[in-house]
Amino acid sequence: MKKAITIFIILILFTGFINSCTKKEEPVTPDVQKTIVAILTTEANAKHTQTAIAGQWTSTITPTSTITPNATLTVEAILTYVGEAGATQTQVAKETQTAEANLWTATATITPTFSFTVTPTNTKIPFYVKEIECGDYHSFVINDLNALFVAGHNMEGQLGMGNTINVNTWTQVFTDAKEISAGTFHSFAVKTNGTLWGTGWNIAGQLGTGDEEDRNSWIQVMTNVREAKGGIFHSLALKTDGSLWVTGSNNYGQLGTDDKILWTPILTGVIAIEAGGAHSLALKEDKTLWATGANEYGQLGKGDTVNSYTWIQVLSDISAIAAGVENFSYALTIDGRLLATGLNHYGQLGTGNTTNVCSWTQVLTDVVAIAAGGAHGLALKRDGSLWAVGANVTGQLGTGNNQSSYNWTQVLSNVSKISAGYFHSLAIKNDGALWVTGDSYYGQLGTIDIQYTYSWAQVLQ
């Protein structure tokens, strides 16, 4: 290639020399085409790519070129043009792999005496994340650099921004997050060093700080934690040694002990936990499911509607659990069968009707992950298809309308993780891109220009 270019240059110079002997010298105009394609790739996650549309680029001349950045904190683009043009431009990336196109400018020198500038217009790229979590009206995501981003309702300080102002764009709060949990008006984050941090509503001691004072900034509340979950007035935390700790209100028995304002151990041998509005679930190492708390609609699945004030075993051979705010529960068996119980007034159990159930009932098969929202549910199947059921008044199912569904309906494909809020839902696709649907009245979808959507939409940065 270099040899061909050298020959080409020699021919041009030779031709120019001959012409100079016979006529006045004229400027050289390179032969170029009218398309340009930009592919942005980051070293942090090479599978994340973005294509800029050719028509969005402007320049004094429009060359054919390919941009292939490869960087962690610095993006370097090399533009190659038809003719003798070449250019290099360096831009420091923002937080992660995001490179705002309107900041790019490249100057290419055709000959020592000719130059031009290529200036692309603003082109957003997908927001890539690895963890997601919905609160009732707020949301959290963690990207592949362990940065925690927040959006949505913040009137109780549940975003930990140091204020009580709602946020409608994804905003970074710290950089070493590992796990996240969002309750109704309070939140938890486990950092990479295993420390547990909380913020938000604390009226019943649900932050476990030893008092009942709300917080609007993150405060450390425990160490050696694997994950935490928040209900309305109570919270659960699972330590790395398998012990379950509880704090907050026990008015319906959701702690399995009395009221607490400090974290208190309650069970051992636990591997997963879930907090509903006023009931709690714990999955043990032996795959048995234990439950306590409110049960007026049968959400504990013990065959009656009597509240439980102590932890009791309700199932066996379970691999995953989920608890809805509106008094319903899901359990996933080790062979992929989805079981449901509790309140069903919007069809959130997926039984095909709105009849409440007080015993665990099979509703779906071949499932690998589950999520329970306010009054709707999400189920991820083995083939990557996402299925939804229940309330849909604000589009939280992503079916393209606001009609509730009593039967499980496929709504998305190529999905790897899911989370359900009260009126909204989040999903991560296999390529790491964030997709959202439902209500964003408080900004919980993190899309500044969308108040709600009835269909799944990809989030761009």
* Residue 74 confidence (pLDDT) above 50: no
- Say if 241 falls within a structural domain: yes
- Say if 20 falls within a structural domain: no
- Say if 7 falls within a structural domain: no
Boundary residue ending a domain (120, 141, 174): 120
* Residue 30 confidence (pLDDT) above 70: no
The per-residue pLDDT for 367 is: 98
- Say if 11 falls within a structural domain: no
User: Is the whole-model pTM more than 0.85?
Assistant: no
Per-residue confidence at 137, pLDDT binned at 50, 70, 90?
very high
pLDDT mean over 392-410: 98
Alpha-carbon dihedral 244, 248, 253, 255, rounded to 10 degrees: 0
Nearest alpha-carbon partner for 66 in 55, 56, 51, 48 = 51
8: part of which helix (H) or strand (E)? helix 2-22
Nearest alpha-carbon partner for 82 in 43, 31, 34 = 31
* Residue 100 confidence (pLDDT) above 50: no
212 and 356 inside one domain: yes
Q: Tokens in use for 360?
A: 């665990």
154 and 296 inside one domain: yes
Q: Tokens in use for 348?
A: 């959130």
CATH of the domain at 378: 2.130.10.30
101 and 160 inside one domain: no
Q: pLDDT above 90 covers what percent of the chain?
A: 72
Nearest alpha-carbon partner for 233 in 204, 258, 196 = 204
* Residue 108 confidence (pLDDT) above 60: no
233 and 370 inside one domain: yes
160: part of which helix (H) or strand (E)? none
DSSP 122: P
CA–CA separation, 88 vs 40, rounded Å? Answer: 15
428 and 281 inside one domain: yes
215 and 84 inside one domain: no
pLDDT digit string (tens) for 206-220? 999 999 999 999 999
CA–CA separation, 389 vs 367, rounded Å? Answer: 14
317 and 420 inside one domain: yes
pLDDT digit string (tens) for 315-354? 999 999 999 999 999 999 999 999 999 999 999 999 999 9
237 and 111 inside one domain: no
Q: Which residue has the higher pLDDT, 313 or 60?
A: 313
pLDDT mean over 242-251: 98
425 and 448 inside one domain: yes
Three-class secondary structure of residue 125 per DSSP: coil
105 and 159 inside one domain: no
Q: Tokens in use for 275?
A: 């907090």
277 contacts 294 by C-beta, under 8 angstroms: yes
Boundary residue ending a domain (120, 149, 181): 120
The per-residue pLDDT for 449 is: 80
- Say if 154 falls within a structural domain: yes
Q: Tokens in use for 120?
A: 């692309």
- Say if 230 falls within a structural domain: yes
264 contacts 245 by C-beta, under 8 angstroms: yes
* Residue 25 confidence (pLDDT) above 90: no
Burial class of residue 285 (count of CB atoms within 10 Å of its CB; 0-12, 13-18, 19+): exposed
- Say if 126 falls within a structural domain: no
User: φ and ψ at 196, to 5 degrees?
Assistant: -100, 130
What type of residue sits at position 440? S
283 and 225 inside one domain: yes
Nearest alpha-carbon partner for 277 in 229, 232, 322 = 232
113 and 229 inside one domain: no
Whole-number Cα distances in Å, 438 to 134, 151, 153? 12, 14, 15
272 contacts 315 by C-beta, under 8 angstroms: no
Percent of residues in the chain assigned helix, strand, coil, to nearest 5: 5, 50, 45
* Residue 131 confidence (pLDDT) above 80: yes
Q: Is residue 358 left, alpha or beta, with left meaning phi > 0 and alpha meaning psi from -120 to 50?
A: alpha
Q: Tokens in use for 340?
A: 């449901």
- Say if 125 falls within a structural domain: no
Q: Is residue 290 left, alpha or beta, with left meaning phi > 0 and alpha meaning psi from -120 to 50?
A: beta
Boundary residue ending a domain (120, 152, 181): 120
pLDDT digit string (tens) for 39-73? 333 333 333 333 333 333 333 333 444 444 433 33
Domain span including residue 172:
131-458
CA–CA separation, 151 vs 167, rounded Å? Answer: 5
* Residue 188 confidence (pLDDT) above 90: yes
Domain count, the chain: 2
pLDDT mean over 86-108: 39
11: part of which helix (H) or strand (E)? helix 2-22
Mean pLDDT of the chain: 82
DSSP 457: E
* Residue 459 confidence (pLDDT) above 50: yes
pLDDT digit string (tens) for 345-384? 999 999 999 999 999 999 999 999 999 999 999 999 999 9
